[in-house]
């Protein structure tokens, strides 16, 4: 699609409503999580609703960039050094499954009480018509339940992890808090997801509703230094995510992976842009074809790239589909390894372990770049994604 077509798709349908709804969105303090809600925010605004984001203060600017109200709720607890260190050590010493149980079965429930209280106070003062909370925002789910507000969970990529751990870890950890507020057994709200459910859910829950994905307009505009005639060489874009580079305990591990990827890039003779967040200043490349930056508008760049080396976060993989760009997935934590493996099984690219050597990475990149079947599979996936129904907030409230 050209820029005008993408802009039109991002508007959502239908445009305009006779009575605007007050939509409350919530997010938890993970760097990319407001962007992960754009498939709700964009249509809500385009359809004429009043939208307010209730989130930790780290997201104030992100709310302003999207033209929505901001209300502080919860804390930036994931930025706490001790929290990051404890989570990182569990991941490094015990692997991803124990990490997920610790994060989602302990840390997230521990924070839910304070977030719920903030939201109960805010929503008692100004009651929303509809709450759309991140699927991992357990405090928001509780607050909506206490106040008898209609609520849907917005899948931010963690939906499959939450579903898998709900009965064994998450619900038991929340039971005491729910009882304090006079509520029954914790239940995950009906969920919205911006992709065909079978792409990421092994057994999709019956309550999951797939809707069309949109991204914020400013994220599909290339900066001037990138908006140029393409090279004759293939362009590889590399990003291992915002969370992995922000977590102090993971930086050494992820930095080593970036260096192996960059060595592989030098070996295969391509152009490359490496987006490394806080690690960018520590990554040097003697190869002039490899440019290291802190950040780029990823959805825009993936419309130009020939290959995306990614950590396998849900939003990043869907950016790749919308750009019809094959992937090389190197999953780090949470849902990422499973996501990367799922895309490889669908023929949308390949997947490697984080421990892969530069030679193995170079071979995998060469294989994807040299085989048109990956691009064809991505184009088919792009069509499938674009055919999902648009999110209609009025209809959602009436049906919910």
Tell me: pLDDT of 13 over 60.
no
Greater model confidence, 232 or 92: 92
Tell me: pLDDT of 14 over 50.
no
Q: What does the pLDDT average to over 7-13?
A: 42
Instruction: Please name every residue paired with 25 in a beta bridge, in sequence order, or none if there are none.
Output: 53, 132
Q: Render pLDDT for 257-295 as a digit per residue (tens, 0 to 9).
A: 999 999 999 999 899 999 998 888 889 888 889 999 988
Tell me: pLDDT of 159 over 60.
yes
The answer to whether 158 touches 51, Cβ cutoff 8 Å, is: no
User: Inter-axis angle of helices 372-386 and 314-323, to 10 degrees?
Assistant: 100
The answer to whether 71 touches 89, Cβ cutoff 8 Å, is: no
> Which residues have CB under 8 Å from 255's CB, separation 6+?
279, 282, 283
Instruction: Please name every residue paired with 15 in a beta bridge, in sequence order, or none if there are none.
Output: none
C-alpha angle 256-262-267 in degrees, rounded to nearest 5: 130
| Phi/psi of residue 221, nearest 5 degrees | -110, 120
Reply yes or no: is the peptide bond before residue 14 cis, omega within 30 of 0: yes
- CA 10 to CA 25: how far, in whole Å? 18
Global pTM? 0.89
The answer to whether 293 touches 274, Cβ cutoff 8 Å, is: yes
Indicate the pLDDT class of residue 217, thresholds 50, 70 and 90: confident
Q: What does the pLDDT average to over 386-394?
A: 94
- CA 60 to CA 76: how far, in whole Å? 12
Tell me: pLDDT of 17 over 70.
no
Q: H/E element holding 45?
A: helix 38-46
Q: Render pLDDT for 95-129 as a digit per residue (tens, 0 to 9).
A: 999 999 999 999 999 999 999 999 999 999 999 99
Dihedral class, residue 95 (left if φ above 0, else alpha if ψ from -120 to 50, else beta): left
Q: What does the pLDDT average to over 222-247?
A: 79
The CB density around residue 206, as the number of other CB atoms within 10 Å, is 8
- CA 263 to CA 357: how far, in whole Å? 10
Q: Render pLDDT for 49-90 as a digit per residue (tens, 0 to 9).
A: 999 999 999 999 999 999 999 999 999 998 898 998 999 999
Q: What does the pLDDT average to over 164-189?
A: 96
Domains and CATH numbers, the chain: 3-217 (3.40.50.2000), 222-385 (3.40.50.2000)
- CA 63 to CA 53: how far, in whole Å? 7
The answer to whether 9 touches 1, Cβ cutoff 8 Å, is: yes
Helix then strand then coil, in percent of the chain rounded to 5, is 50, 15, 35
Mean pLDDT of the chain, nearest integer? 90
Indicate the pLDDT class of residue 229, thresholds 50, 70 and 90: low
Dihedral class, residue 135 (left if φ above 0, else alpha if ψ from -120 to 50, else beta): alpha
- pLDDT given for residue 228 in this prediction: 63
% of residues, the chain, pLDDT over 70: 94
Indicate the pLDDT class of residue 4, thresholds 50, 70 and 90: very low
C-alpha angle 329-378-280 in degrees, rounded to nearest 5: 40
């Amino acid at each position: 699609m050209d820029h005008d077509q993408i802009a039109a798709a991002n508007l959502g349908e239908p445009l305009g409503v006779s009575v605007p709804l007050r939509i409350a969105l919530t997010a938890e303090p993970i760097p990319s999580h407001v962007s992960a809600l754009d498939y709700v925010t964009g249509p809500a605004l385009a359809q004429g609703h009043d939208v307010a984001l209730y989130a930790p203060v780290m997201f104030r600017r992100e709310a302003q960039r999207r033209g929505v109200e901001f209300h502080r709720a919860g804390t930036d607890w994931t930025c706490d050094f001790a929290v990051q260190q404890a989570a990182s050590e569990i991941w490094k010493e015990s692997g991803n499954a124990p990490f997920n149980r610790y994060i989602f079965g302990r840390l997230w429930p521990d924070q839910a009480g304070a977030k719920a209280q903030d939201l109960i106070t805010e929503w008692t003062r100004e009651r929303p018509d509809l709450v759309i909370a991140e699927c991992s925002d357990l405090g928001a789910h509780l607050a909506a339940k206490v106040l008898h507000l209609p609520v849907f969970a917005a899948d931010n990529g963690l939906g499959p992890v939450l579903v898998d751990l709900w009965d064994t870890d998450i619900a038991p950890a929340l039971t005491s808090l729910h009882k304090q507020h006079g509520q029954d057994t914790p239940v995950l709200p009906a969920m919205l997801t911006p992709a065909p459910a079978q792409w990421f859910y092994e057994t999709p829950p019956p309550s999951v509703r797939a809707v069309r994905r949109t991204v914020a307009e400013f994220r599909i505009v290339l900066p001037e230094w990138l908006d140029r005639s393409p090279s004759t060489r293939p362009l590889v874009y590399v990003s291992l995510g915002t969370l992995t580079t922000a977590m102090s305990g993971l930086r050494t591990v992820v930095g080593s992976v970036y260096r192996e990827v960059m060595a592989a890039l030098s070996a295969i003779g391509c152009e490359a842009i490496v987006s490394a967040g806080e690690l960018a200043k520590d990554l040097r490349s003697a190869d002039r074809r490899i440019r290291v930056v802190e950040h780029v508008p990823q959805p825009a760049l993936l419309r130009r790239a020939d290959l995306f080396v990614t950590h396998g976060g849900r939003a990043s993989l869907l950016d790749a589909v919308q750009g019809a760009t094959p992937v090389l997935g190197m999953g780090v934590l949470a849902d990422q390894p499973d996501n990367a493996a799922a895309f490889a099984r669908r023929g949308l690219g390949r997947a490697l372990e984080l421990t892969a050597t530069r030679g193995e990475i170079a071979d995998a990149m060469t294989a994807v770049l040299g085989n048109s079947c990956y691009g064809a599979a991505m184009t088919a996936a792009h069509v499938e994604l674009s055919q999902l129904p648009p999110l209609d907030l009025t209809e959602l409230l009436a049906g919910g």
